[in-house]
Structure 1
Amino acid sequence: MIGARTTAGRLAGEWDEGVAVFRGIPFAEPPVGGLRWRPPRPVARWDGERRAYAFGPAPLQPQPPSDSIMYHTNFADRRALVMSEDCLYLNVWTPDPARAAGLPVMVWIHGGGNRYGHGGQEIHDGRAMAGRGLVVVTLNHRLGALGFLAHPELAAEDDLGASGNYGLQDIVAALTWVRENIAAFGGDPDRVTLAGNSAGAAHICHLMASEAARPLFHAAVGQSASGVGRAEGPLADQAAAQKQGLRWAAGFGDPNIDGLRRLDGSELVLRGHFGPVVDGRILTRPTDEVFDAGRQHRVPLLVGSNSDEGSVYATPDVLRRLPVEPGTDELYPVRDMAEARRTARLFTGESRFTHPVWRWAVAHRETAPTWMYRFTRTPPLPDGLDLAPPRDGLPAYGVHHTAELPYALDTLDCRPWPWTGTDRELARTMADAWARFVGTGDPNGGALPRWSAFTGTEAMVFGDSVRAGTVERLEAMRLLARCPRPL
């Protein structure tokens, strides 16, 4: 057992192969009852010593289909999933809980499209990264309608007239907790890197545009998503977001917020798709505008994406949304059915993931050091896996969305897949680079080839080998940058 004292009370953690682990630490009051759809409030103090041995409940959420590649990669955990609206908990891994240790801190934000995920997923386990000399924090935040509903009645009861982005406010509350408490776990509150993938990466991009979050982190890592250059266009303003919220609320027969607060939260998160908006509290301007003006948080940035980002999401009907007449542009050719399927996957991945990440790097490179990567290693799925085929008709998922996660965080062993020596060496190299970036603001060193800062074309390739390379399909990136939104 190992102890730590926070501003709310004393915690008891445990050792796990040389790393001290504290799980299920409350960082805000439970957002239930009258606190549903309100900014998170500081957690109440407790007496005595609180056990921090088990993860707190995950946020209320549906689950991806059990035969999906996203489920097998991210959610097929050995622990049973426990969910609750009382979900605002975080977890800490530290190699040295001495207050004087002064270790760099990585705060990890999970992905899941604002619908799925939590800080206790095995794929986000922090032990391997903590073993590299970091304090690692994972956290939960509210999801779906509970995390992002905008509504005129919510704005009316808010002192700033804000509504929406409760999930982003949860992340800021967790970062505030880190600022106030991480020294008790051996961390340096002035060396905090905010890192995440997919929706978590987009949240980080939005928080770089937020004045409220800027004192709370000092570098950023974004994997496979962004808050700028989005296929769906800039964030909705309050008027548009509140109209969407009213349409969603009408589906319950009573759009009144008091009535919605009386409904079971599980019913609320199963309907609708929600995400960040310009709420007037965390985000006062669209994130694209902030980055276009060069007014974002000027911190070192490491970003990248995977080779087959579109394989999970592409369907043949996406060809109707191509930014060029099908068959007239070699960037997205459709001369036969096989080529059309490849183009559908390529366009889906580039428009939704690869281009927004590239746009993030392009917008940030003039304000602070920026590095870009491309992940090209196909993970070795086991034979006999219960896996639905890709919807685009191609035979395999390839280097799919989130495929890089167990490599970047060195958590391969969370899945009993036939990992090879190449996989394990790649995970070591990639996680070492991420750890150096968290520690110094620069990923270079160790066995990594020289990784040049991004000026428009440079990218490190993490695949069957690790090598310095360039941005692929740069003309496609430029074409997508010129296209009106939504794509």
Structure 2
Amino acid sequence: MPICKILAAVALAAGLCCAIPAQAQSPIVHTASGDLAGSGGDIRAFKGVPYAAPPIGPLRWRPPEPIAPWTGVRDATRFGADCMQKPLADSRAPGVSEDCLTLNIWAPAQAPQQRLPVMVWVYGGGFVEGSASLPLYDGEALARKGVVLITLNYRTGVFGFLAHRALAAESPQHSAGNYGVLDVIEALRWIKQNIGAFGGDLDRVTIFGESAGASILDMVLVSPLSEGLMQRAILESPGAMRPLSTLPEAEAIADVAGPDLAVLRAMPASEVLALNGKIVPPVRHLTTPRALGPIRDGWVVPRTDTEAFASGLMRKVPLIVGGNSDEGRAFVKDWPIHTGAEARSYAEQNFGGSADAVMSLYRFDSDASVKPALAYAFGDTQFNYGVRGLARGMSAVQPKTWRYLFTHAPAGETIAPTHSEEIDYVFGNFGAPRWVPRGKMNAADRQLSDAMMEAWVRFAATGDPNGGNLPRWPAYDAVSDPYLEFGDAIAVGHNYRTPYLDFVQGFLTSLHAAN
């Protein structure tokens, strides 16, 4: 009888955790939490692996607790539930649940003594949604390049970022919110303890993510709780160096949930989820803190990333950071701002006395110019400024810092890439549903994808993306402001949108000084 069937029979007879799949050659891995049965051959996959206790009941809105070890062999062939949100159409998860703190691992089969670099992906979704099981994030293609690839779930929306006054009162650290950030840190602790069992090198862990995921990793880099948990970072379109709420400011936002924490913890998850709509505005503000997202709580995040990177108080790890050439288009296309008058009102709400400068700089010259101008104002304030700021700050203390710009429109299309479009190329999953509809990919797209995948993997392996067929990618310095453009051609550029980002910097600096 195959060993997997013997183990399954033993597990069932003893009333142990879960029966392993009745398939030949099911890979079994021994972790500190218990044994896992995955699937696959030359690339082994382990899905729905719990890294923390389910944050349900009394653990709702608390820092994640370590996972209790299980007995027997746990089935790791199916994705776990997505964290509470409106279900995503393309998710491969069985549904949504508060019991969602799981991760997925793709690892090449190899000799036990081998140790491969580890890449840990953290998804975006505006801090209110996202899934580690999306086909777009499938890790097999990257694992075939020679890494152990991990995707993880973290709590989003009110479940991950509500900073209620009663939560701070019960906390030994007098903190609230940032539960999604703590989830990522707990997952990294689990990975450090267990990744060797999957062939991973615990001394070569690269955290990488996009959008809100990259923003969370930005917070991880400045958190005192993350020491020793990663050796490199890749931040794609991070919402970095934007204003952060203080704990009192975030507590005031959370007042909409009501005063009684016991009532809130007893509420059905679906009713708690509905609070998102009461807190998150339909049109995002450009110069004020996010209503739901990481905050400066004094414990997890003791200072803003702007302050941390200016003073060198962050993890001084090799860094790749970058974004897309038209970041804002995906966000503003459906906003009810169409005319010059509406644009001016929005500029006044966000920039006050600097509204005239914004209207002139971004050339809100006519109603027809409103959407593209709004898109670039959004992209500069929410992403491009933070990309440059992180590159500047890290390069001052870590010479292994690189900046990129993704400018390629797939299959010869002419519309510039917007937010998230580089992900297709980083993961190489061209058959997966995309966030932004495009035509079919062609050979040039595949060639660019291979170049990006190999650069990301080289960075994970060595701390330097250079090599292979890639043109020389210069390390970042604030004077020449270099970046590598991943476009129709791959080439070095300098000073991307400098006048615009200088304006944003001046405005945010004066705003901070006034407060």
The answer to whether TM tops 0.5 is: yes
User: Cα distance, 1:56 vs. partner?
Assistant: 0.4
Q: What aligned pairs does 1:315-394 form with structure 2 within 5 A after superposition? A: 315=335, 316=337, 317-319=342-344, 320-321=346-347, 324-326=354-356, 331-368=361-398, 369-379=400-410
1:404 corresponds to 2:422: yes
Q: Is the 8 A contact 1:6 1:181 kept in 2?
A: yes
Structure 2 residue matching 1:364: 3-state secondary structure: helix
Q: Report what 1:385 is aligned to.
A: none
Matched, 1:269 2:273: yes
Q: 1:78 to 1:220 in 2, by over 3 A?
A: closer
* Residue deviations 1:39-78 (CA, integer Å, cap 9, x gap): 1111111111111000000001125xxxxxxxxxxx5527
The question of 1:434 aligning with 2:456 is answered yes
Which of these residues, 20, 44, 63, is aligned with residue 39 of structure 1?
Answer: 63
Cα deviation for residue 109 of structure 1 reads 0.4
- Candidates 30, 39, 47, aligned match of 1:23: 47
Query: Could you say which residue in structure 1 is the equivalent of 2:81?
Result: 57
Partner Cα separation in structure 2 for residue 326 and residue 371 of structure 1: 34
Q: Which residue matches 2:472?
A: 450
Report deviation, 1:353: 1.2
Number of matched pairs: 452
Report the counterpart of residue 491 of structure 2 in structure 1.
467
Matched, 1:13 2:30: no
Return the letter of the residue paired with 2:405.
R
C-alpha separation between the residues in 2 aligned to 1:98 and 1:24? 24
Residue 422 of structure 1: SS of its match in structure 2?
Answer: helix
Asked if the contact 2:91/2:134 (under 8 Å) is kept, the reply is no
Matched, 1:258 2:262: yes
Question: What letter corresponds to residue 14 of structure 1 in structure 2?
Answer: S
- Residues 155 and 161, structure 1, Cα contact 8 Å, conserved in 2: yes
> Is 1:281 matched up with 2:299?
yes
Secondary structure of 1:414's aligned partner: coil
Counterparts of 2:296 and 2:111 in 1: how far apart (Å)? 40
Kept in 1, the 8 Å contact 2:483–2:494? The answer is yes
Q: What aligned pairs does 1:54-93 form with structure 2 within 5 A after superposition?
A: 54-62=78-86, 76-77=89-90, 79=92, 82-93=95-106
Unaligned runs of 5+ in 1: 64-74, 383-395
1:249 aligned partner, one-letter code: A
SS of 1:31 mapped into structure 2: coil
Match of 1:182 in 2: 195
Give the structure 2 partner of residue 191 of structure 1: 204
> Contact conserved, 1:327 with 1:334, CA < 8 A, in 2?
no
Alpha-carbon distance between aligned partners in 1 of 2:328 and 2:167, rounded to the nearest angstrom:
36
Aligned equivalents of 2:474, 2:305: Cα separation in 1: 27
Is the Cα–Cα contact under 8 Å of residues 79 and 93 in structure 2 kept in the other structure? no
In 2, the alpha carbon distance for the partners of 1:401 and 1:453 equals 24
Aligned-pair CA distance for 1:397: 6.5
Per-residue CA deviation, residues 110-164 of structure 1 (Å, 9 max, x unaligned), is: 0001111111111111111111110111100111111011112111211111111
TM-score, normalised with respect to structure 2 = 0.84
What CA distance in whole angstroms lies between the structure 2 residues aligned with 1:167 and 1:374?
28
Identity level (%):
37
What is the letter of the counterpart of residue 68 of structure 2? A
Using the TM superposition, name which of 135-144 and 333-342 deviates more: 333-342
Task: Return 112-121 or 265-274, whichever deviates more.
Answer: 265-274
Q: Deviations over 1:373-392 (max 9, x none)?
A: 1111124599xxxxxxxxxx
Question: Residue 326 of structure 1 contacts residue 334 of structure 1 at CA under 8 Å; is this kept in 2?
Answer: no
Separation in structure 2 between the aligned mates of residue 328 and residue 279 of structure 1, nearest angstrom? 32
Cα distance between partner residues in 1 of 2:81 and 2:261: 25
Output the CA distance in 2 between the equivalents of 1:355 and 1:440. 28
Matches within 5 A, 1:214-229: 214-228=227-241
Return the offset for 1:339: 2.9
Task: Tell me which amino acid in the other structure corresponds to 1:215.
Answer: G
Larger Cα Rg: Structure 1 or Structure 2? 2
| Aligned counterparts of 1:83 and 1:149: Cα–Cα separation in 2 | 19
Q: Distance in 2 between matches of 1:366 and 1:482?
A: 20
**For 1:345 and 1:282, how far apart are their aligned partners in 2?**
32
Shift of 1:363: 1.6
Choose which of 86, 102, 126 in structure 2 pairs with 1:113: 126
User: Which amino acid is 1:188 matched to?
Assistant: D
Letter in 1 for 2:155: R
1:162 aligns with 2:186: no
Amino acid at match of 1:321: A
Using CA pairs under 8 Å that are at least 6 residues apart, name the structure with larger relative contact order, 1 or 2: 1
> What are the superposed Cα offsets for residues 435-478 of structure 1, whole Å, 9 maximum, x if unpaired?
11111111101111100011131011111221121232211111
Ranges in structure 2 where 5+ consecutive residues have no aligned partner: 1-25, 281-291
| CA displacement at 1:338 relative to structure 2 | 2.6
The letter for the 2-side match of 1:224 is S
Deviations 1:4-38 (A, max 9, x none): 1010111011115x211100001111100111011
Structure 1: how far apart are the matches of 2:165 and 2:448?
49
Q: State the TM-score, normalizing by the size of structure 1.
A: 0.88
Q: Which residue of 2 aligns with 1:391?
A: none
**Secondary structure at 1:419's aligned position in 2?**
coil
